[in-house]
Amino acid sequence: MAVSKNSPANSAINASMGAREWIMLIVLSVLWGGSFFLIGVAVAELSPLTIVTLRVALAAIVLWCIALMMGLVPPKRIRVWLAFLGMGLLNNVIPFVLIVWGQTHIASGLAAILNAATPMFTVIVAGLLLPDERFSLAKILGVLIGFAGVIVMIGIPDLSNGGSLSTLAQLAVLAAALSYAFAGVYGRRFKAMEVNSIVTAAGQVTASALVMLPIAFIFDSSFRLMFDGSFAMTEISLSVWLAIVGLAIFSTSAAYVLYFKLLESSGATNLLLVTLLIPVSAIILGALYLDESLETVHYLGMLLIALGLSAIDGRVWRRKV
């Protein structure tokens, strides 16, 4: 949806991000970068529908607890809740299901590189729909350079030996990236509605949970078994439950608080740069905590990503011109 040039959502968007926004973006990339690893742990024992449903349901509880402790209450306007539903579909239900299903057939690293296509989709969607985020050569060039860095760092996936399920899984993650792009644009309306960012985060995951609960109950037999007493929670390993909790609290609840604050201040295109940083954070975390070593291509990839981010931000490049 195009935002009016005179709308509140338009007036406070900064084309260039400040130090505070960059720090928030990096923290968000770590929270979401870890989600690919956590999903990889969870899919070993739980179905995609169960993982997504538990993730958004637990996140809704956590976020409303935070909102209520801050004295914030759920909005009463139906228009706002309909907007939550739209955001929940675009930002949670569709991409979460597609990515989790995709990771049952492809590696988490490949899912991360495909997800990094999100800024490219966002530049196109935002350029078409938002008057304050029109196309520019710097944005297009920056996204292309950044995505090239992701490819250099992780490598180009070999599709020659993959079966049809592998191809469909990769297309599913790309479709999730497109859904995220639309979500970044759609989410701009909440500032115009004067909805607090924490309430927005809580509302959209609540709408997502309300959508996912009946879907999982109808189409996922393992999810139904959790409610009729024939499913023992102890059948699921502690590591998987910890992964679900981590997805809900860190990769969803905390991440969305940052997400909507950045969306308010920096706009859809700048915000979706986080998908270029996700593979970087994954490699750094692996080196620090899993004794994984960084190779030359990783440093080269990070350099290209930094160059791409600087082109989209624009400040350094304008000084040089």
Q: pLDDT digit string (tens) for 202-211?
A: 999 999 999 9
Q: What percent of the chain is modeled with pLDDT above 70?
A: 78
User: Does 7 reside within a domain?
Assistant: no
User: Does 272 reside within a domain?
Assistant: yes
Can you tell me the distance from the alpha carbon of 145 to that of 23, in angstroms, rounded to the nearest whole number?
A: 21
Average pLDDT estimate for 274-296: 68
User: Does 6 reside within a domain?
Assistant: no
User: Does 265 reside within a domain?
Assistant: yes
CA atoms within 13 A on the CB side of 2: 9
Alpha helices in 4-103 (DSSP H): 8-11, 19-42, 48-69, 78-88, 94-102
Q: pLDDT digit string (tens) for 72-86?
A: 999 989 999 999 999
Confidence of residue 59 (pLDDT cuts 50, 70, 90): very high
- How far are the Cα atoms of 68, 199, 210, 256, 304 from residue 72, in angstroms, in the given order? 5, 7, 21, 16, 42
pLDDT of residue 65: 95
pLDDT of residue 9: 40
User: Does 3 reside within a domain?
Assistant: no
The number of domains in the chain is 1
Per the CB < 8 A criterion, the answer to whether 21 and 14 are in contact is yes
* Residues of the domain holding 160: 17-320
Confidence of residue 7 (pLDDT cuts 50, 70, 90): very low
DSSP string, 212-248: HHHHHHHH-HHHHHTTSS-S-GGGS-HHHHHHHHHHH
User: Does 244 reside within a domain?
Assistant: yes
Q: pLDDT digit string (tens) for 232-254?
A: 566 788 889 999 999 999 999 99
User: Does 165 reside within a domain?
Assistant: yes
pLDDT of residue 246: 95
pLDDT of residue 87: 94
Can you tell me the distance from the alpha carbon of 187 to that of 183, in angstroms, rounded to the nearest whole number?
A: 6
Ranges 29-43, 52-66, 67-81, 88-102: which has the least confidence:
29-43
User: Does 10 reside within a domain?
Assistant: no
